Structure 1
Amino acid sequence: MTPKLVIFDCDGVLVDTERLTNRTLAALLTDCGFQITGEDCQKRFMGRTLEAVQEIVERELGRKLPSDWLEKLRARDIESFKAGVTQIPGVADVMDLLDERGIPYCVGSSGKYEKMHSTLGSAGLLPRLKDRLYSSQDCERGKPAPDVFLLAAKSMGHRPEDCVVIEDSLPGVKAARAAGMRVFAYVDDPVCDRDALKTAGAILIERMDQLPGLLFGEA
């Protein structure tokens, strides 16, 4: 079935930021007394909102994180993005093909709008996406709840069952399936748990150039 709307996650699907942001997160959490590496941050927290990460860390620490930790993290992230953020290889070609075929697309992310504007802007993708960004900050619940994908579908004027999601995280795949949407998981990153993503209901892709054939039944 050809989708009527394609919803892209942002980090790790449109822009190559997962390793960078998780190194920054790990450094700040370690400063706060929660010892963790960037790779372990990515494995544990990829796809979740920072508020959800805070709940997990505070529960395990048995105490609150500093009141300004989120502010510090977001400031460090924005500063790190100034050095340049690259597009995921092939994703612009996918969007070009969707444009040619008249299939709309948008973004459904756990990230805040400020972060999306920064990363997508640095990668040169913001002009084609800036009016089609949807964030969990506008939702009651973050991924793995389906809220942001349902918001995106409703805002773009499509039924959930007519949408396809492109994700890279387990919470994101679970959110898409909970929304009643087909989901493809981009698994180029070696940290991805392929078995868990497949078990959760995703079709795995290792390269973005595989996606058009799967979307349009031409593989």
Structure 2
Amino acid sequence: MRYDLVIFDNDGVLVDSEPISNTILAGYLTELGHPTSYEESIRDYMGSAMHRIHELALERTGQRLPADFDDAFHARVFAAFERELEPVAGVMEMLERVTSEGVSYCVASSGSHERIRVGHRKTGLDRYFTQEGPGGTRIFSSQDVGRGKPAPDLFLYAAEQMGVPPERCAVIEDSPLGVQAAITAGMDVFGFTAMTPPERLAGATVLFSEMAELPKLLA
């Protein structure tokens, strides 16, 4: 393996949550007077932290979202996760392979810690990420840093906590914001195109469309 650390995005890379959460987000924003289609939600918000939703809504309409927006949105999303969420196809087998080869890995997500935990518990991925890393955890959220993606802060923080320099890290991402963050952090980035058109991840080091391809690419 040519990397000392593999950093996984969560939504859309480990758990197949993007269709669920963006359907709910588009509906909720529209309900609140910010008309948003599913396609627009994917385009504008996929891979971003919650603060970006607030910033874009204010910028576009001059109206702030309600103070309880985050809590209400997450309540809807978590209820849907409990009913519908599945791991990304092939991700269990990929993680087994990465684990068997002794590669260090972690998750760095724009989502909250609670969102990550709920998704991992529902899909069974928690068994791969509950073991402690060098810094005491393998799970990192934009809540841990001041700025979410496309800022590089989250990936740099994860690498620091895992004790690996940026140039020895590979990031697995499916959003343009995440690809930009990884590049700015000085890390190689593998763009997962299962749901994102390849041209939107054009800056990635490598593009791939199935999780089964990833171990060979990392090697």
What is the TM-score when the length of structure 1 is the normalising length? 0.94
CA–CA separation in structure 2 for the residues paired with 1:51 and 1:162: 30
2:169 to 163, 167, 182: 163
The structural deviation recorded for 1:196 is 2.8
Moved more, 88-97 or 162-171: 88-97
Give the letter for the 2:210 counterpart. R
CA–CA separation in structure 1 for the residues paired with 2:204 and 2:63: 36
1:215 to 199, 213, 218: 218
Q: Is 1:168–1:187's contact at 8 Å kept on the other side of the alignment?
A: yes
Q: Alignment RMSD, CA only?
A: 1.1
**Identity fraction in percent:** 39
1:10 matched residue in structure 2? 10
Other structure's SS at 1:83 match: helix
2:148 to 142, 145, 160: 142
Give the letter for the 1:173 counterpart. V
The structural deviation recorded for 1:140 is 1.0
Q: Is 2:95–2:128's contact at 8 Å kept on the other side of the alignment?
A: no
CA–CA separation in structure 1 for the residues paired with 2:53 and 2:107: 21
Moved more, 62-71 or 3-12: 62-71
The structural deviation recorded for 1:176 is 0.5
CA–CA separation in structure 2 for the residues paired with 1:84 and 1:193: 24
Q: Is 1:24–1:76's contact at 8 Å kept on the other side of the alignment?
A: yes
What is the TM-score when the length of structure 2 is the normalising length? 0.94
In structure 2, the gaps of 5 or more residues are 131-136
Question: How many pairs were matched up?
Answer: 213
The structural deviation recorded for 1:39 is 2.2
Q: Is 1:19–1:39's contact at 8 Å kept on the other side of the alignment?
A: no
CA–CA separation in structure 2 for the residues paired with 1:53 and 1:93: 34
CA–CA separation in structure 2 for the residues paired with 1:168 and 1:202: 13
What is the correspondence of 1:176-215 to structure 2 with a 5 Å cutoff? 176-189=182-195, 192-198=196-202, 200-215=203-218
